């Protein structure tokens, strides 16, 4: 699929300029494509523009993969810990795992009567009103 599929001529020009931004300011790019900085900012926020700029960057970087791998190999051979770790991750031999518990365990509500629950809700509601009033 072509990176520019579905983009207007102006959007293509914007994507190309953003992808080759270098040290230029957004004001310079806006002038180059004939927009105000504010208009350019709005274009930059569009997901299809961001995606196209990212795809160009990835496409350009792909040609550097052999150079990057060679640099990584040299660092690994020198015993650089971070390079060794990255090498293992790249090969899929090292996977970071983390576990996130998303439930709140509070058994005290299970043992409350309807009246106690109503009082608890009323108390929470009162505290929220105080906090909202205090935030003004």
Q: Tens of pLDDT along 20-77?
A: 999 999 999 999 999 999 999 999 999 999 999 999 999 988 989 999 999 999 999 9
pLDDT score at 1: 59
For the segment 5-17, what is each residue's pLDDT rounded down to a tens digit? 899 999 999 999 9
The arithmetic mean of pLDDT across residues 99-110, rounded, is 72
Matching residue, tokens 């900012």:
41
User: What would the two tokens of residue 41 be?
Assistant: 């900012």
Q: Assess if residue 25 is contained within a domain.
A: yes
If one counts the domains in the chain, the total is: 1
pLDDT band at 135 (very low <50, low <70, confident <90, very high): low
Residue 126 forms part of a structural domain: no
Total-model pTM: 0.54
SS3 assignment, position 25? coil
25/46 Cα distance (integer angstroms): 19
Residue 111: the pLDDT is 79
In a domain, 51, yes or no: yes
Buried residues in 6-27 as b, exposed as e (16+ CB within 10 A):
ebeeebebbbbbbbeeeeeeee
Instruction: Provide the residue range defining the domain that includes 34.
Output: 9-62
Can you give the pLDDT at residue 104? 64
CA dist., res. 48 & res. 51, Å (int)? 5
């Amino acid at each position: 699929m072509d990176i520019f599929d579905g983009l207007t001529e102006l959007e293509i020009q914007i994507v190309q300029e953003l992808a080759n931004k270098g040290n230029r300011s957004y004001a310079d790019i806006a002038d180059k494509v004939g927009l105000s900085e504010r208009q350019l900012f709005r274009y930059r926020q569009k997901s299809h523009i961001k995606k196209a700029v990212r795809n160009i960057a990835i496409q350009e970087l792909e040609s550097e993969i052999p150079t990057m791998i060679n640099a990584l190999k040299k660092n690994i051979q020198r015993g650089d810990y971070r390079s060794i770790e990255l090498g293992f991750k790249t090969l899929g031999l090292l996977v970071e795992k983390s576990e996130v518990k998303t439930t709140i365990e509070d058994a005290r509500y299970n043992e409350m009567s309807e009246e106690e629950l109503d009082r608890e809700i009323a108390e929470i509601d009162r505290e929220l009103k105080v906090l909202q009033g205090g935030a003004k």
